[in-house]
Amino acid sequence: MSGTCEPHHDASANALTAFMCIGITISYLPQHWRIISAKSSEGFSPWFLLLGSTSSASAMLNIIVVQWGLINCCQVLPFGSCVESIAGVLQLILVWVLFVLILVLYMVYYPPHLKYVELDVDLPNGLPPRHIKTPVKREGWKLSITLTWAVCVHIAVISFVTYMLLATNNPDEAYRTRQLRLWTMFLGVTSALLAAFQYIPQISHTWGIKLVGALSIPMMCIQTPGAVLMVLSIVLRPGTNWTTWISYAVAGVMQGVLLVMCIIFRGRQHALGLDDFGRPLAPPPSYPASQSIHIDAVPAVEDTARSSQRVLVDEAVGEDTPLLQTGAAKQNKGLFSWLKR
């Protein structure tokens, strides 16, 4: 192996890859911070996160396979030469980790008022309605849990198949078997197709709600033009082909479409006096503590606004309100408690 594992120095390619790794990390941080600071992931399509996670996972394993010989050379190369030779692999691993982190934050900060079915029960004698949060999951929350498990199963399956093929084949590209070459093409084409369809559900979802939600416009402003550099940095790496970079080219175009939509909708929301989640920018009017508020009498802009108004009703009802939501509240404890639901 030491005879074929000779370090190759390409200053321009290495500088571009290092710049891309820093840029990729910086571009994702606004999205991560936006979800955490808003404590809400409303506005995301779970299908978008599923397709994005599976697409980036396939692209990551594709470059691992095509550069497996270089990865094996790290056994004999110095640390610096090893990092330089597999910089392209590290770059796509970083993309996968940062995108999957969005999925994790999406589940952790999924809006509580959208998780379970809520009912308003009318009471006699002019009392305000009784608001009840049931333990029945909403369809959107059930779908998000199911698709998150699908992401976990997908990465486990393709990682296992990749490991088995690499363990039974020569890592040298010239002597790879037909099965390994077909698997490489399958990963690349699958990644490209998933990336092509990735933004369709998110574009459709954003168009339907006419809101930006938790989507980060700064992230898209960085990543959309950055897709060109991303493709270029992969093309310059040795051993890669069109199946490795095509997914990022397609995703860059689709993300540009979503970016234009979000900019238009943000301007529309601010013109209407609403924030990115459809809530009024002006504070809601205050009511006397003794005044009864009927939830149906307050105009609701979005479900989030209705939820905040219902809190006032819960406080007005008093201690006789059934606490059916206790079981659901207990399930919210723990960072990854949604995996058990």
**Domain assignment present for 329:** no
Q: Is residue 257 part of a domain?
A: yes
The verdict on residue 5 lying in a domain is no
Q: What is the pLDDT of residue 166?
A: 87
- Give, rounded to a whole angstrom, the gap between the first and last alpha carbons of the chain: 49
How remote is the C-alpha of 33 from its chain's centroid? 13
* Dihedral angle of Cα 336, 338, 340, 341, to the nearest 10 degrees: 170
Judge whether 313 and 131 are in contact, CB under 8 Å: yes
User: Which residues are 121's β-sheet partners?
Assistant: 130
Contacts of 255 (CB under 8 A, 6+ apart): 199, 220, 223, 224, 227
Residue 122 lies in a domain: yes
Residue 245 domain-assigned (yes or no): yes
Q: Is residue 339 a part of any domain in this protein? A: no
Query: Is residue 200 within 8 Å of 32, Cβ to Cβ?
Result: no
Angle among Cα 106, 255, 200 to the nearest 5 degrees reads 75
Q: Quick one: which of 207, 30, 156 has its CA closest to 105? A: 30
- Give the CB-side neighbour count of residue 107, counting CA atoms within 13 A: 25
Q: Compute mean pLDDT per 10 residues along the chain, 341 residues long, and list them.
A: 61 75 88 91 91 91 86 81 81 92 94 84 73 82 94 96 84 67 88 84 88 86 80 72 73 85 87 82 56 40 43 40 40 47 49
- 50 in any annotated domain: yes
185: left (phi over 0), alpha (psi -120 to 50) or beta: alpha
3-state secondary structure 97-161: HHHHHHHHHHHHCCCHHHCEEEEEECCCCCCCCEEEEEEEECHHHHHHHHHHHHHHHHHHHHHHH
Residue in the structure block whose two tokens are 């009511």? 287
Distance CA 295, CA 304 (A): 13
Number of domains in the chain: 1
- Residue 191: both structure tokens together: 């990644």
Q: Is residue 71 part of a domain?
A: yes
Could you identify the residue written with the tokens 């940095």?
233
Whole-model pTM above 0.75? no
Domain extent at residue 109: 11-271
